[in-house]
Structure formats: C-alpha cells, structure tokens
Amino acid sequence: TIAKDFYLLNKLARFVDKKFTSLAHYEIAMQALAWTNHLAAQLDFRTEAEHLTLFRRHFEGTDYVSFPEPVLATQRVLVETYAAGEPATEEFLMSHSPKTRDILAEKGLNAYLKMMLHDNFLHGDLHPGNILVDSQTDPKNPKVTLIDVGLCMKLTKADGEKCGMLLGSFVHWKPEMCVDALVAMGHTQKYVDN
C-alpha cells in the first residue's frame, strides 16, 4: 500500500512539475522523491536499530538521558529493551514540582545540545510521546529515555558550527553574531536571497 502511495505521489508530482511550469522553482518532483525516500527508510526497522546503537554509544557515560537497547532487528520487526516511564506531556510534567521540572528541562537541553553541537546527529521526532520520564524510581533525579529514533538527521560539521554560532549569539546577547549565523545558514539554502 505504501509503495503504491509513493508511486502515485511521485507520478502526480512529475505531472505538476511538467504541467505548471510557473512552479518549476519549487522542484516539486525532486521534493516528492526526496520525501518518499526519507519515509521509505522508516519502513526498515534495521535503520532504527542502527540509530539506537549510535545514540547509545554517543550518550554512554552520561546520566541525563538514555536509549533502549536493540535486541533483535529485521526489516519488519524491532525488539528493544523496555523503557519505564510516562510520556512527557504537559499534564504529566505539571504534576511535578518546579524543581523536578527544572531538572528535566536541564536534562533535555543537555541531550539536545549534545546531539546538535557535539555529535551532529539529531533525533528527528522529539515530541512528548517519544520522551519517557521515570520519576518513580528516584523522584529527586528522574530518568529520561528517548525512544522512536527512526527519524534522525545527520548534520555536517559546518551545519553544526553554524547552529553553535546561532545559539552562542543568544547566550551572549550578540545580535551581529545572530545575523552572521543566519546569513551563513542562508548561503546553503537554494532559494534564499543573501
């Protein structure tokens, strides 16, 4: 079913590309193909197992976030170790003390910055359902586990440096640095007028 959907979507995108030449600068056919290729990778659970292994290696020795361990991975099946916790929904987080929420925010920020600035490899689907918080085992130090790592993004070293420069501009309150970072990011975008 998904293969048929991809085929139809790409055929429609090619038709639109040819029929509506005024939309040529959007490269709809190329975008549709890139999107379907990206989604197709999600259909192979071995990719998610590889991502889990990579994240576990990257975060080995840290105490602020963990990832399940893949036990068995085939194209259609992924078995991983159990991760205790509740999804980090707003209601769940608000049921905790401000101090606990601060601890969780710090852990989340540390994890995200490490992914982006150190590892250049981002979890691409971070939403409350993929962030599990176990505050029962140790209420003073809740455990955070990130799951569902099928969608990931690999940043180039240059992209990571630009992201670091942008974040640094916020930390140091340097608007010129922020502009420089945004302009540098724009140079890699096809339709940005620098």
Identified catalytic residue from 125, 134, 148, 159: 125
Contact assessment for residue 45 and residue 78, using Cβ atoms and an 8 Å cutoff: yes
Contact assessment for residue 11 and residue 33, using Cβ atoms and an 8 Å cutoff: no
Q: How far apart are the first and last CA of the chain?
A: 43
Cβ partners under 8 Å of residue 26, min gap 6:
none
In this structure, the number of other CB atoms found within 10 A of the CB of residue 110 comes to 16
**Residue 101 to residue 190: CA distance in whole angstroms:** 40
**4 exposure class (CB count in 10 Å sphere: 0-12, 13-18, 19+):** exposed
Joined tokens for residue 125: 């689907």
* Known catalytic residue at 180: no
Q: Which residue type occupies 183? A: V
Enzyme catalytic residues = 125
